[in-house]
Amino acid sequence: MRILFTAAEIAARVEALAAEIARMLPAEFVMVGLLKGAAVFVADLARALDGAGACPEIEFMRLASYGSAKESSGVVQLIGDVPANLAGRPVLLIDDIFDTGHSIAYAAAELRRCQVGKLWTCALLDKPQRRQIAFAIDFVGFSVADLFVVGYGIDYAEKYRHLPYIGVVE
């Protein structure tokens, strides 16, 4: 495995991202992280947002499209329910990787069906070469090439989520 972003690089980018988000969003909003991949990012971003003066609530949605494969099936499924009590509230939807666009677009559509207030989107990693649908994202941690990455919450067949860095599987 080759390290792509160290723990220190990720921490610095999360702090900078939190400052940017805190300038753009109201002080109180709901973070909705997409499980399982975004869980670590959501936790670190929430703490950084607090340091930047924001007061986010944290919710999660669980989607599936990969299974144990290295490629998305393109079919996104909601596992469980959309968080309750979001109507009219500002929401920041957070994903680990913005690649094909299917997952975040699906989650955004589900949240809009619940009549959330203003909706912003954020992804730790952006893989623009993988885009299959047009979708604009508001905040991005890092832009990366079409590499298969793991660590910092991102897995391959449920392994490697625990790594404090983001690495490339070779």
The amino acid sitting at 123 is A
Angle, vertex CA 141, rays to CA 121 and CA 27, nearest 5:
50
The predicted pLDDT at position 86 comes to 95
Which is catalytic among the residues 50, 99, 126, 155? 99
Chain segment 101-127, per-residue pLDDT in tens: 999 999 999 999 999 999 999 999 999
Reported confidence tier of residue 69, pLDDT bands at 50, 70, 90: very low
Active site residue 138: no
- Tell me the average pLDDT across 64-79: 62
Chain segment 75-105, per-residue pLDDT in tens: 777 777 778 899 999 999 999 999 999 999 9
66 or 136: which carries more pLDDT confidence?
A: 136
| pLDDT for residue 45 is more than 80 | yes
> What mean pLDDT is reported for the chain?
92
Say what the pTM is: 0.91
Which ranges of 29-145 does DSSP label H, i.e. alpha helix?
Answer: 39-51, 102-113
The predicted pLDDT at position 109 comes to 94
The predicted pLDDT at position 84 comes to 85
- Tell me the average pLDDT across 66-80: 61
Q: Cis before residue 159, ω within 30 degrees of 0?
A: no
Domain architecture of the chain: domains with CATH:
8-146 (3.40.50.2020)
How far CA 134 is from CA of 92, 105, 130, 142, in Å, comes to: 19, 9, 11, 19
